[in-house]
Structure 1
Amino acid sequence: MLEKFVGNEQLSIHLRIQYLCKAVLAMSIGAFGLLVASGNIIDYDSNWQFVRHVLAMDALEPWFNGAALQSRAVSDPSWQRLGYGAIIAGEMACGLLCAAGGLLMLKAAAGRGGLAWGKSLFTLGALLAVLVWYFGFAVMGGEYFAMWASKWNGQMKAYAFVGFILLSLVYIRQREEA
């Protein structure tokens, strides 16, 4: 009987460690999203220049002969600011959802439930991260606005962010094992 109790206690400890690891990972991604969004708000002009130049397509490399693609440029500052605001809102929502999911997983690690909701909130936050950094930066910025041919190219950073977030999503969504 004592062995059975010790075995169940070890099972509980192993599960709690997995919950804790997933919680900390989710909260770190949440912190990343919140830091990026708050940095864009506090130091608005720094990344505003990046977004403005990518959308206006006014900093393309001299070797790029893409006059046909330049018809896609968005030069109106109102539309550019709307785009930048959408990026910041996406980063903020990603950060809040991932952090909230991590906190619920932390609650689960303490034995008070909330794992499924925590994973679900994290999944929504990760989806927003993919929409911001993959769809927003790689697809729209990189291809639609030819950021790959611009002096303002942030594709590699976006791919790094998305890669880490997707790997984290795969790990966090896995079923825990004893």
Structure 2
Amino acid sequence: MTKEQVNIHLRIQYLCKGVLALSIGLFGLLVASGNIVDYDSNWQFVRHVLSMDTMEPWFQGAALKQRAVHDPLWQRAGYFAIVTGEMVFGLLCTAGGVGMLLAAAGNGCLRWSKSVFNLGAMLAILVWYFGFAVVGGEYFAMWANQWNGQMKAYAFISFIVISLIYIRQQEQAD
């Protein structure tokens, strides 16, 4: 393979990774903006999970229900943390994706762009895995709540982690 062919092959990989990272970043920005634009319906989700007031009729976990947060100030602080995490995740992944696209065009720093994407993906993992699966799912027993978002959180995180693994791999000049 000639040097030019190798260069084209590498740039195609940068392009693919950049588009993937950019789409993940835009997803984060759309989710965050949706939580702002449609504040009340998304706020209801967080409020009901934290207050544990919409548990399934079969759930009898009185000991777990003692964990409920009823103070609206703390509930809103939790919602603010989620939306902020989504927004920053979206911005970082978008910046990383744009940087990878610039690297594909020969005008960007691939390592820096991958690192920025890595930070954004880690923040997404904190929001959806730690926030929704660990805190919401287990601490607040979201699995027994009528407002259960665990499967969506797992779907988001699965895609982001798989993408993170792909994007962090060294490009090959096959």
| Same fold by TM-score greater than 0.5 | yes
Structure number, greater radius of gyration: 1
Distance 2:69 2:111 in 1: 42
Indicate yes or no: 2:9 matched with 1:14.
yes
Match of 1:69 in 2: 64
Match of 1:45 in 2: 40
Distance 1:62 1:40 in 2: 28
Match of 1:109 in 2: 104
- TM-align CA RMSD: 0.7
Distance 2:125 2:167 in 1: 16
SS in 1 for 2:147: coil
Match of 2:78 in 1: 83
Match of 1:126 in 2: 121
- 1:78: Cα distance to partner? 0.6
Amino acid at match of 2:15: L
Match of 2:136 in 1: 141
- 1:113: Cα distance to partner? 3.1
User: TM-score when scaled to structure 2?
Assistant: 0.98
Distance 1:7 1:108 in 2: 20
Distance 1:118 1:147 in 2: 35
Number of corresponding residues:
173
Distance 2:58 2:12 in 1: 53
- 1:30: Cα distance to partner? 0.3
Match of 1:158 in 2: 153
- Unmatched tracts of structure 1, length 5 or more: 1-5
- 1:109: Cα distance to partner? 0.2
- 1:62: Cα distance to partner? 1.0
Q: Percent identity?
A: 74
Distance 1:76 1:48 in 2: 14
- 1:110: Cα distance to partner? 0.5
Match of 1:176 in 2: 171
Q: Deviations over 1:65-99 (max 9, x none)?
A: 10001110000111000000000000000000000
User: TM-score when scaled to structure 1?
Assistant: 0.96
Amino acid at match of 1:162: I
